[in-house]
């Protein structure tokens, strides 16, 4: 049976497995013969969101879901929340620690990349509730 949804648990600072969820989402999209440019945009969104969960959250869930007209990527974490959302959306702004930067992350392009790749982006964040990112890419 065709899979319509991938739900993937992401652990804090687990860089060895970072990207596995996005890989599963990409493989799911392959089944539906989705246009390569759309698949690529979804891949960028899910990978950046997954890496954000690894670097910045206490752990969370990455989800990719296919609908007849769109693909929706959701990343929901348990906190600690984004302190300054407008700063986080700026290209080049990063709060990633040094050891993470040495791995090639922390360019400050994560959320800007997601925003650029998505048709629609909803981002809610608070210290109490954590962060929820919902990115939509339309199929046509």
Partner 1 sequence: MNLKKVNQLVEGKVVAGEEFLNREIKAAYGADLLSDVLAFTESNTLLLTGLVNSQVVRTAEMLDLSGIVVVRGKIETVEDHTLELAEECNITIIATEKTMFESCGILFHHGLKPCGYAN
Q: Which of 8, 22, 64, 82 binds partner 1 (CB under 8 A)?
A: 22
Q: If binding is defined by CB under 8 A, does position 7 make contact with partner 1?
A: no
Binding span for partner 1 by CB under 8 A among 14-22, 58-66, 72-80, 130-138: 14-22
Minimum CB separation of residue 133 from partner 1 in Å reads 16
Q: If binding is defined by CB under 8 A, does position 36 make contact with partner 1?
A: yes
Q: How many CA atoms lie within 13 A of 95 on its CB side?
A: 15
> Is 48 or 77 the residue whose CB approaches partner 1 more closely?
48
Binding span for partner 1 by CB under 8 A among 1-9, 42-50, 65-73, 132-140: 42-50
Question: Which residues are at the interface with partner 1 (CB under 8 A)?
Answer: 15-16, 18-19, 22-23, 26, 36, 40, 43-44, 47-48, 51, 103-110, 112-113, 116
């Amino acid at each position: 049976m065709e899979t319509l949804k991938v739900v993937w648990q992401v652990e804090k600072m687990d860089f060895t497995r970072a990207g596995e969820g996005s890989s599963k989402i990409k493989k799911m999209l392959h089944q539906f013969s989705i246009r390569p440019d759309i698949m690529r945009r979804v891949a960028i969104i899910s990978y950046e969101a997954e890496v954000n969960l690894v670097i910045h959250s206490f752990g969370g869930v990455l989800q990719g879901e296919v609908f007849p007209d769109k693909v929706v990527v959701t990343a929901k974490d348990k906190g600690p929340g984004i302190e300054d959302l407008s700063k986080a959306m700026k290209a080049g702004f990063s709060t990633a620690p040094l050891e993470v930067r040495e791995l090639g992350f922390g360019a400050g392009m994560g959320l800007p990349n997601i925003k650029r790749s998505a048709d629609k982006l909803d981002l809610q964040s608070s210290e109490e509730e954590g962060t929820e990112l919902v990115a939509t890419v339309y199929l046509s």
